[in-house]
């Protein structure tokens, strides 16, 4: 008893539906294309003829709605790519800033700015902090 797979049944049905094949179609391909097609046909457990016939029968030009959808998706993809490029550029700029950051100079600058403020009572703050440290 032979067990048929869905693919085998499709091929049997396709053969029965189209009758005897007596016309030849010549398609020129490069050696690399021929290898890829043969490998794809083998992977699908089909002859090269059946594989190409099936591929040709399944092919159709995209409808107007599908073309519009593809154009919209392409527009969104381009926008996402542009956004990603901007994000990478900003990240690279931040990395350069981080690599050249001088923490000691920054601390010195902030300390000088804080000490120059007249709205802070430094003696009272120092006293409050030292009292809390003792508790």
Please report which confidence band the pLDDT of residue 130 belongs to, taking 50, 70 and 90 as the band edges: confident
Predicted TM-score (pTM) of the model is 0.41
Give CA–CA dist 24/80, Å, rounded: 48
**pLDDT value of residue 118:** 87
Give CA–CA dist 45/4, Å, rounded: 12
For residues 7 and 130, which has the higher predicted lDDT (pLDDT)? 130
Give CA–CA dist 114/102, Å, rounded: 18
Are 124 and 130 a contacting pair, CB within 8 Å? no
* 78-123 pLDDT per residue, tens: 999 999 999 999 999 999 999 999 999 999 999 999 989 889 888 8
DSSP type of residue 63: P
* 15-45 pLDDT per residue, tens: 445 568 888 889 999 999 999 999 999 999 9
**pLDDT value of residue 69:** 96
Residue 66 sits at φ, ψ, to 5 deg, of: -65, -40
Torsion of CA 73, 75, 80, 81, to 10 degrees: 110
Least Cα distance to 37 among 51, 23, 58, 18 occurs for 51
**pLDDT value of residue 77:** 97
**pLDDT value of residue 120:** 87
């Amino acid at each position: 008893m032979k067990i048929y797979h869905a693919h085998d049944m499709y091929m049997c049905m396709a053969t029965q539906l189209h009758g005897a094949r007596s016309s030849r179609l010549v398609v020129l391909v490069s050696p690399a294309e021929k290898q890829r097609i043969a490998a794809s046909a083998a992977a699908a457990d089909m002859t090269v003829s059946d594989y190409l016939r099936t591929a040709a029968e399944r092919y159709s030009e995209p409808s107007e709605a599908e073309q519009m959808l593809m154009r919209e998706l392409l527009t969104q993809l381009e926008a996402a790519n542009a956004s990603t490029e901007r994000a990478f550029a900003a990240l690279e700029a931040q990395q350069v800033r981080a690599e050249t950051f001088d923490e000691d100079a920054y601390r010195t600058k902030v300390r000088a700015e804080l000490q120059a403020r007249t709205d802070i009572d430094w003696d009272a703050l120092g006293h409050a902090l030292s009292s809390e440290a003792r508790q």
